[in-house]
């Protein structure tokens, strides 16, 4: 677990452990994600993970940053160039620090595109790409 990351069993518990800019950032991201598509929100790998035909995206609060990542994020960089590739699969993550924001319209575009890719290509954790 990352330093400063909440340890929680439910999304509500996760949010309840945040404060300040991290709380505001995670709440704004969650609101945009939930408005963009019907997703299953769970705590998985110690952070918020959203599923639709496999994992679609994550929101992870740490001590000095909030991560907004997509399992097929490498394919979404034309929508948001702040997505940086790294990790397994086609993961790309945006690092948000105090004062950083994500335009809700961009977040909506990212979520909808990521969901569409999971439904077109399949669960990214089972892909051979």
Rounded to 5°, angle at Cα 67 from 61 and 72:
140
Tell me the CATH class for 11-120.
alpha beta
DSSP alpha helices (H): ranges in 1-129? 11-16, 20-36, 104-121
The pLDDT assigned to 13 comes to: 95
Task: Render each residue's pLDDT in the chain as its tens digit; 129 residues.
Answer: 456 677 899 999 999 999 999 999 999 999 999 999 999 999 998 999 999 999 999 999 999 999 999 999 999 999 999 999 997 789 999 999 999 999 999 999 999 999 999 999 999 988 554
Measured CA to CA, the distance from residue 100 to residue 22 in angstroms comes to 10
pTM over 0.75: yes
- The Cα angle at residue 20 between residues 48 and 26, in degrees rounded to 5: 25
Question: What pLDDT score was predicted for residue 1?
Answer: 47
């Amino acid at each position: 677990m990352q330093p400063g990351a909440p340890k929680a069993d439910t999304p509500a518990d996760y949010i309840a452990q945040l404060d300040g800019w991290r709380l505001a950032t995670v709440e704004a991201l969650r609101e945009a994600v939930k408005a963009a598509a019907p997703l299953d929100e769970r705590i998985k790998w110690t952070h918020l993970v959203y599923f639709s035909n496999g994992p679609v995206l994550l929101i992870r609060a740490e001590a000095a940053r909030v991560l907004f990542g997509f399992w097929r994020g490498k394919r979404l960089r034309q929508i948001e160039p702040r997505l940086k590739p790294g990790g397994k699969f086609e993961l790309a993550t945006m690092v948000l620090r105090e004062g950083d924001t994500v335009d809700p319209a961009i977040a909506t575009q990212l979520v909808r595109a990521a969901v569409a890719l999971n439904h077109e290509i399949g669960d990214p954790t089972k892909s051979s790409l």
